[in-house]
Every structure is written in C-alpha cells, then in structure tokens.
Structure 1
Amino acid sequence: MGIVVTAQALLFDMDGTLIDSTEAVERTWRRFAARHGLDAAEILAGAHGQRTVETVAEHAPPGTDVAAETAWLVAQDVADTRGTVALPGAADLLAALPRGRWALVTSAGRELAERRMAAAGLPLPEVLVSADDVRRGKPDPEGYRTAATLLGTDPRATVVFEDAEAGLLAGRAAGGYTVVVGPHEGAAAEGRPRITDYLGAHCADTDDGLRLTLRASATATV
C-alpha cells in the first residue's frame, strides 16, 4: 500500500523522523538525571519533541539555573553524536528533492541540528528552523509556519513528517498534511498516514507541485 500526496514543500522534524539519535539522546538525559538525582526514565518519557530548555524547566530541582543547565546539556549533545544514523532511505529522498522545496523544523538548537545531520550523513536544507529561531516550541505551530513562510509557500500546501505528539500537533495546527514516522500512537497520530522509513520513497517535481509517493506501514490509514 502506498501514500501519494502532492504538496508545494516538505517539512521534516529531525530526531526520530530523519535520523535515529536515540543512543545519544538517552546518554545525555541520563547524565542530567544523575547530576540531580532524578529518574531518567521519567525524563525520557516526556522529553521527545520538546526543546531542551522546556524539559529542564519541567524536571530540574527548585533553584536550578535553567539557562546554565540547558547550556550544559546542549554542550553534551553537541559533543556526543555517537550512534546517530539516518533512517533507511532518508538520504536518497533528500538528495532527490529540489533545493528550496524542503525544510528542517527541529526542537534541537541549530548547532546540534547541524552536528547530528552531518553525523548521519544527511544534507542541510536551505531553510532550517531550530529551537533557537522560535519563541514557542512544539506543539506551537510557530516553527512550521516560519519554515513555510521562508520557503515562500502556504503552510496548508506542505507535508509535515513527525514522530512525536508535540510535533504532530504543531504540524496540524500550522495547517500541514501530517505523516507519522515510526511507532508513535498518540491522539495526534490517529487516522494519519504512517511510514516506518523512506525506502521506496519517490518524489517528482511536477507542474502542480511535488508529487510524493511513500511506502505506507502495515498499520497506516490514509
């Protein structure tokens, strides 16, 4: 079963959507938990899709300097990309996309996004909207709306690829056509098309826009 959709631009989340950085992410948050005597599993359960500063503010003990702790965590992330890999087929799909027709919208900071994309062997797009570029992180739609504007297109004419609840909510609120990447089963994923990777993905630049064909997962609904 395949998914076929036409759009003016494609907007991708990064972690869990284009790349698998699970090993590095878990190592960093476990360091943070150990520093403060916190439950690492509890932090990891809610950290995905959020900006680092928001997760720190939620879990850090009272009196913690949130800005300083966030800076420490970001430095840990930037220095540690071991185990970061691209999702199958992602490199080929991105290489086939016209420049200026896709963007990265991530809850990671810009430096970290650049390091992880490089570690995974993926190119950077002309438009990268990071945690450093927005006032409000996901699930707020600011990032996706900003990316669409920078690409010169209406957010409602975009396809948004996301793997986390906050990101799916953000993409939907921006007006994009959301595609779930991976196993996430939250409310925002209900009834949405789903893929597990980009193997077999094909994109054609037509007069009507980008005609994208994806291989749906066995549980996908369109």
Structure 2
Amino acid sequence: MTATDTDLGPLVGRTFDAIIFDMDGTLVNSLPAVTRSWVTWAIHYGITEEQFNEYHGVPSGAIIAELIPEAQRDEAKRYIDDLELADVADVEPLPGAVAALESLQESQRAIATSCHRDLMDARIVASGIPRPDTTVTIDDVERGKPHPDPFLLAADRLGLDPKRCLVVEDATAGLIGARRAGCATLAVVTTTPREKVAAEADAVVDNLSGVRFVQVEGGVQVEPA
C-alpha cells in the first residue's frame, strides 16, 4: 500500500479532539536498540527467542513477571532498565513522525508508552522528535497495555473523552488497549505484520508518512498524505 492509495476506512471524515501516539515503533525507531538490550538480557537469563513472540508492546515488568521466577524479578528488571538506558545512540524518528507531531496543537497530542519515564525521556532526546506536554508512561498506571489504562489516563490528562481520541500504534497489545478505552485506532506497519495489526485496528498505513493530520472546525481529521 502506498500513500496515494491509503484506505482509512471508518476514520475518513471523523473529527477527533486529539491524537494519542505510542512511541517505540510508532514515532521512533528503537528496534535495533531494543533488540540488542533484550537479546543480552535473554542470554543472561537463558530465555529463548520463541518465548518473546507474544510480548511486543507489553511493559517490561509484565514480560519479566511471565518469564522470570519471582525471586529474580527485581534484579532482572534493574538489568533490562540499565541495558536500555545505556543504548539509545541510534534511536531515530520514523517517517512522518516529526511532521505528525508538529501539525498538532499541544491540546491535541499525547504520547502513551510502555516505557518507564526515564527511558522515554532518553529516547525522545536521542531521536529529536518534538515532545508533547502530555505523556503517559508505565510509571503512571497500575496496568499497562493491553489494558486501557494508559489511553484513559492520556485522554484524562488532555481533559478529553477517549471516545473522541485517535490512537496510533504499531503493536497489537496497544491496539487492543486503545479499543478497550473506546478510542479509534490507526495502526502503522513498522514492527508487526500487517495482518496482525489489521485484525485490531480501524485502519492501517505503512507509517505516518502515509497520512496527515488536518486542522478542521472542532478538531483534527486524518487524511491520506
């Protein structure tokens, strides 16, 4: 699918109060750094690649709770946090991310990420993307994605009804959480196969360069770029 034949389906003509973006895989390409960190971590704890298959977009604490014995979980969490914070040198914006953020007013944009706040800050600085005033990290919620809590809190911090917000995500866990929050969903195909995100999203594009956010009376609409 190209930008010229992007099909936004039920999103066409809808006016949203705000756009809530996931960060990793949606706004920034941190995949090489994430992969390096988690491979190092997995080798240390004897975790196989197959054991990670269903955890993309899930907070690190939830992954560790599934894969690591309870007595080692605190240590394992500190280790992955240290690895990820130390490895941000090649984190960069994904296509269309900067333009998307710059097209929105502060009251119309937010980030809801599974990162801890210090890691979010490090990746925003490393990538150089504009930083929304409204951000939600795993530190801010009791339950992360695929629960709706991050998106509900982002909408609340913006002072908006989540049903009038559009969430942009690259992972099925995030899309499921957004849908549970009542948000509309737009998936980008940057880290997850199209068929998987298409099953959970209202519309799918290759990346944010395929769309533009347009100011209209009463809010923002999404159109093919």
Q: What TM-score results when the alignment is normalised by the length of structure 2?
A: 0.88
Partner SS state of residue 136, structure 1: coil
Tell me the alpha carbon deviations over residues 11-50 of structure 1, each in whole angstroms, 9 at most, x when there is no partner. Answer: 01111111111111111111111111221x1243233111
State the percentage of identical aligned residues: 35
Relative to structure 1, the CA distance from residue 22 to residue 191 in structure 2 (aligned partners, 3 Å threshold; closer, same or farther) is closer
Distance 2:137 2:129 in 1: 16
Distance 1:10 1:63 in 2: 37
Partner of 2:209: 199
RCO greater where, 1 or 2, for CA within 8 Å and sep 6 or more? 2
Q: Which has the larger share of helix?
A: 2
Distance 1:44 1:24 in 2: 16
Partner of 2:113: 106
Distance 1:167 1:191 in 2: 10
Counterpart code for 1:55: I
Matched, 1:42 2:50: yes
Matched, 1:16 2:17: no
Distance 2:70 2:219 in 1: 52
Partner SS state of residue 209, structure 2: coil
The answer as to whether partners of 1:201 and 1:212 remain within 8 angstroms in 2 is yes
Shift of 1:188: 6.5
Partner SS state of residue 55, structure 1: helix
Distance 1:32 1:212 in 2: 39
Aligned residues: 213
Partner of 2:64: 56
Which of 25, 41, 46 is the matching residue for 2:34? 25
Q: What TM-score results when the alignment is normalised by the length of structure 1?
A: 0.89
Question: Gaps (5+ residues) in structure 1?
Answer: 216-222
The answer as to whether partners of 2:175 and 2:200 remain within 8 angstroms in 1 is no
Partner of 1:218: none
The answer as to whether partners of 1:7 and 1:211 remain within 8 angstroms in 2 is yes
Distance 1:138 1:184 in 2: 19
The answer as to whether partners of 2:134 and 2:158 remain within 8 angstroms in 1 is yes
Distance 2:37 2:215 in 1: 40
Write out aligned runs for 1:106-145 (5 A): 106-145=113-152
Tell me the alpha carbon deviations over residues 152-206 of structure 1, each in whole angstroms, 9 at most, x when there is no partner. Answer: 1100000011111110110001111111110343377356311112225332322
Matched, 1:186 2:196: yes
Question: Gaps (5+ residues) in structure 2?
Answer: none
Relative to structure 1, the CA distance from residue 115 to residue 187 in structure 2 (aligned partners, 3 Å threshold; closer, same or farther) is closer
Relative to structure 1, the CA distance from residue 30 to residue 209 in structure 2 (aligned partners, 3 Å threshold; closer, same or farther) is same
Relative to structure 1, the CA distance from residue 210 to residue 63 in structure 2 (aligned partners, 3 Å threshold; closer, same or farther) is closer
Counterpart code for 1:11: I
